[in-house]
Amino acid sequence: MQPLKGLTVLEFSQFMAGPSAGLRLADLGARVIKIERPKTGEAGRNIATKNMYMDGSSLVFHTANRNKESYGADLKNPADLQKIRALIAQADVMTHNFRPGVMEKIGLDYETVNAINPKMIYGTITGYGTKGPWVKKPGQDLLIQSLSGLTHLSGNADDAPTPFGVAVADMICGTHFVQGILAALVRRNKTKLGAWVEVSLMESVLDLQFEVLTTYLNDGKKLPQRAKVNNAHAYLQAPYGVYKTADGHIALAMGSLTKLGQLLDCDALTTFQEPTSWFSQRDDIMAILKDFLVQKTNNEWLAMLDPHDIWCAEVLHYERLLSSEVFRLLEMDQYIPLQNGEVFHTTRCPIKFNEQPIFSPKPAPRVGEHTDSINLEFNLL
Amino acid sequence: MSKPLEGILVIDMSQFLSGPSASLRLADLGARVIKIERKGSGDLCRNLYISNVEMNGESSMFQAINRNKESFEADLKNPIDKKAVFQLISKADVFIQNFRPGVIERLGFSYTALKAIKPDIIYAEISGYGKKGPWKDKPGQDLLVQARSGITALTGNQDSDPTPMGIAVADIFAGSHLTQGILAAIFQRDISGEGCKVEVSLLESVLDLQFEMITTFYQDGGQPTVRTKTNNAHAYLGAPYGIYKSQNGYLAIAMASIPVLGNLLECPALLVFENTQSWFDQRNEIKKILANHLLTQPTEHWLSKLEPADIWCAEVMNWHKLMQSEGFLSLDMLQKVQMTDGYVYETTRCPIRIDGELLTSTKGAPKLGEDTNVISQAFLAN
For A325-379, write each residue's pLDDT tens digit. Answer: 999 999 999 999 999 999 999 999 999 999 999 999 999 999 999 999 999 999 9
Residues of chain B contacting A114 with CB distance shorter than 8 Å:
none
Q: Per-residue pLDDT averaged across A74-84, rounded?
A: 97
Would you place residue B64 in the very low, low, confident or very high pLDDT band (cuts 50, 70, 90)? very high
Question: Residue A138 and residue B176: Cβ atoms within 8 Å?
Answer: no
Whether A192 has its CB under 8 Å from any CB of chain B: the answer is no
Mean pLDDT for the stretch of residues B118-133: 96
Chain B residues near residue A165 by CB distance under 8 angstroms: 151, 154-156, 165, 227, 232-235
Distance from CA of A361 to the nearest CA of B (A): 15
pLDDT at B257 > cutoff 70: yes
The Cα of A283 is separated from the nearest Cα of chain B by a number of Å equal to: 15
3-state secondary structure (DSSP) of residue A55: coil
Asked if the model's pLDDT at residue B382 lies above 60, the reply is no
Q: Partners of A241 in the beta sheet? A: A231, A252
What average pLDDT score do residues B45-55 get? 84
Q: For chain A, give the mean pLDDT.
A: 97
Beta bridge partners of B35: B12, B71
Please give the pLDDT value at position B265. Answer: 98
The confidence score (pLDDT) of residue A371 equals 98
Question: Are B198 and A178 an interchain contact pair (Cβ–Cβ within 8 Å)?
Answer: no
Mean pLDDT of A81-96: 98
Find the mean pLDDT for residues B70-76: 98
Instruction: Say yes or no for a CB contact (<8 Å) between B51 and A244.
Output: no
Q: Catalytic residue among A27, A109, A170, A265, which?
A: A170
CA atoms within 13 Å, Cβ hemisphere of A137: 24
pLDDT band of B50, cuts 50, 70, 90: confident
Distance of CA B135 to the CA centre of its chain: 23
List the single residue in B51, B187, B355 with the smallest CB-CB distance to A189.
Answer: B187
Contact B319 A60 (CB under 8 A): no
Per-residue pLDDT band for B2 (boundaries 50, 70, 90) equals: confident
Residue in B64, B214, B319 closest to A347 by CB: B214
Share of chain B above pLDDT 70, in %: 99
pLDDT at A186: 98
Q: Do A171 and B173 touch (CB under 8 A)?
A: yes
- B196 forms beta bridges with B122
B379 — pLDDT class (breaks 50, 70, 90): confident
Per-residue model confidence as pLDDT tens digits over A273-302: 999 999 999 999 999 999 999 999 999 999
For residue A239, whether the previous peptide bond is cis, meaning omega lies within 30 degrees of 0, is yes
Per-residue pLDDT tens digits for B262-306: 999 999 999 999 999 999 999 999 999 999 999 999 999 999 999
Would you call B159 an interface residue with chain A, using a CB distance cutoff of 8 Å? no
Measured between beta carbons, the chain B residues lying within 8 angstroms of A142 are 233-234, 241-243, 252, 254, 312, 314
SS3 (DSSP) at A234: coil
Q: Please say if the pLDDT value at position B48 is more than 80.
A: no
CA distance A372 to chain B (A): 31
pLDDT tens per residue across span A178-196: 999 999 999 999 999 999 9
Residue B292 has phi, psi (to 5 degrees) of -65, -40
| Any A CB within 8 A of B147 CB | yes
Of B53, B177, B352, the CB nearest to A215: B53
pTM of the model: 0.98
| Cβ(A226)–Cβ(A233) below 8 Å | no
Phi, then psi, of A358 in degrees rounded to 5: -105, 115
**For the residues of A245-295, what is the DSSP string, one character each?**
-SSSEEEE-S--HHHHHHHHT-GGGGG--STTHHHHTHHHHHHHHHHHHTT
- What pLDDT, on the 0 to 100 scale, is given for residue B1? 63
Confidence band (pLDDT; 50, 70, 90) for B163?
A: very high
Mean pLDDT over B4-30 rounds to 98
Contact A165 B232 (CB under 8 A): yes
d(CA A271, CA B250): 40
Phi, psi of B338 (to 5 degrees): -125, 130
pLDDT in the model for residue B326: 97
CA distances from B75 to A237, B37, B83 (A): 30, 8, 10
Probe site for chain A from B189, B227, B316, B346 (most A CB atoms < 10 A): B316
CB contact residues (below 8 A), chain A span 83-122, against chain B: none
Q: How does residue A270 score in pLDDT terms, banded at 50, 70 and 90?
A: confident
Question: At residue A64, does pLDDT exceed 90?
Answer: yes
A residues 342..381 contacting B (CB < 8 A): 344-347, 349-355
Q: What is the pLDDT of residue A181?
A: 98
Tell me, yes or no, if B177 is annotated catalytic. no
| Cα–Cα dist B75/A167, whole Å | 43
Confidence of residue B181 (pLDDT cuts 50, 70, 90): very high
Within 8 A of B306 by CB-CB distance, chain A residues are none
Res B381: pLDDT: 66
Q: Give A208's contacts (C-beta < 8 A, 6+ positions apart).
A: A150, A168, A169, A172, B167, B169, B172
Are B155 and A50 inside 8 Å of each other by CB?
no
Q: Per the residue annotation, which of B234, B293, B301, B320 is the catalytic one?
A: B234
Q: What average pLDDT does the structure give for chain B?
A: 96
What is the pLDDT at residue B380?
80
Q: What angle do the packed helices A201-208 and A210-218 form, to 10 degrees? A: 70
Does B360 reach chain A within 8 Å, measured CB to CB?
no
Q: What is the mean pLDDT of residues A230-236?
A: 96
Q: Which residues of A touch B209 (CB under 8 A)?
A: 166, 168, 171
Q: Is residue B49 over pLDDT 90?
A: no
Mean pLDDT of A146-153: 98
